[in-house]
Amino acid sequence: MNHILDDLAGLLAWCAEHGQPGWRAEAISRWLLQRRVTSFTDMTDLPKGIRSALEDDFTIWSTKIAKHDTSMDGTEKLLLELSDSQRIECVLLREQDRRTVCISSQVGCAMGCVFCASGLDGVIRNLTTGEILEQLLRLALLLPETERISHIVVMGMGEPLANLDRLLPALARAQSADGLGISQRRITISTVGLPQAMDRLTSDNSGYQLAVSLHAADDTLRTRLVPVNSSIGVAEVLAAADRYWEASGRRLTFEYVLLGSVNDSPEHARKLVRLLGKRAALVNVIPYNPVMGLPFREPSKGAVEGFLDVLQSHGMNVQVRKRKGSRIDAACGQLRRLAAGSPVPPKAAEALQSFT
Ligand code: SAH
């Protein structure tokens, strides 16, 4: 059975084969993405024969909800089980009039950032376009009918730029008028910083917000924290980010996870200021969200304040990422591991000793 969300473009041909006009494909897409129906039967303005033909050929859902947590601040987190029993996480965040969803792009992650729960077992596979879209639908269904998803951040499990072929068609649907109608400027893709893929976005003239995970201002420390940096280097990452900025006009965001006593001193902050120089960038400072079994700590309150002071006194735009839904949070990727009963693999724990 085909997952309809994985080939919405193919619906046009399907409609032709079933003697239906082309606009039906658009109507079906609207039913799914805008009117949030959960079955073909509910597509009440389609001829009955077409509804049952759709039912014969397609399934709407490829995932099951394995866990659904809600926290006091309104944050909801879903652990979804995919058709091959792999699990991914996605989150709905409520903030004033914003309804932001955070979605995953891969099962696991190959980037190996040493403080992150998502990559502890490496990458298992890319998510399909349908699986990426389905996260949006599952989260949209948590909202009352009067509310819509306003923002998307691709900051869940995985490295989105390592799966652009499947991510971009999903985001195109998220934007389109017969999709979710969310403008590109409200969609943020977070990347570890893969220059080739960043250049692809640049030459596509894409207008997504790009957030680059820097976490350190020099190659020695960055390579320890973000191992893929060893073959790329901070200078290349920044050059690719600059090219994106020039082409898109979108303000760049640099993410910086503050790890207690690792990269959180005023000197680290000064290095970051020197590195970013006059760029009109936003620095998104993220106090570490501890991962069970990993030897990293949250930064102290004083360290966070000291770090911010340095950035702000140099006129940088800074935003501290508030932790949302911390009780259910279990840093991204952790929920999946906990549910699977697997804490830190011994090898990773060993490799990390140097940080303690
Ligand atoms: N692969 C993408 C998306 C990762 S998740 C990227 O590297 O940007 C989004 C951000 O959360 C990244 O900056 C990532 O480094 C950070 N992150 C991962 N684990 C974290 C944790 N336990 N606490 C705080 N931030 C974390």
- What is the secondary structure of 213-252 as a DSSP string? E---SSHHHHHHHSGGGGGT-HHHHHHHHHHHHHHH-PPP
* Contact (CB, 8 A) for 153 and 117: no
Domain range annotation of the chain: 2-59, 64-355
- Residue 1's pLDDT is what? 85
- Residue 351's pLDDT is what? 42
User: How many other β-carbons are positioned within 10 Å of the β-carbon of residue 211?
Assistant: 21
Residue 176's nearest CA partner among 297, 39, 9, 295 is 9
With a cut of 70, which residues of the chain have pLDDT below it?
323-335, 337-356
Strand, coil or helix: what is 192?
Answer: coil
State yes or no: is 332 an active-site residue: yes
Pocket test for ligand 1, best of 111, 116, 167 (most atoms within 8 A of CB): 116
Q: For ligand 1, which residues put their CB under 6 angstroms from it? A: 111, 113, 115-116, 155, 159, 190-192, 213, 255, 257, 286, 288-289, 291, 331-332
What is the CATH code of the structural domain delimited by 2-59? 1.10.150.530
Residue nearest to atom 11 of ligand 1 (CA): 155
Out of 26, 76, 89, 134, pick the active-site residue.
89
Question: Residue 43 C-alpha to ligand 1 middle, in angstroms?
Answer: 39
User: How many other β-carbons are positioned within 10 Å of the β-carbon of residue 315?
Assistant: 9
Residue nearest to atom 14 of ligand 1 (CA): 213
- Residue 178's pLDDT is what? 83
**Nearest ligand 1 atom, CA 113:** 15
Residue nearest to atom 12 of ligand 1 (CA): 213
What's the pTM?
A: 0.94
Question: Residue 171 C-alpha to ligand 1 middle, in angstroms?
Answer: 20
What's the length of the chain? 356
What is the CATH code of the structural domain delimited by 64-355? 3.20.20.70
C-alpha span between 110 and 264 (Å, rounded):
25
pLDDT in tens, 78-123: 999 999 999 999 999 999 999 999 999 999 999 999 999 998 989 9
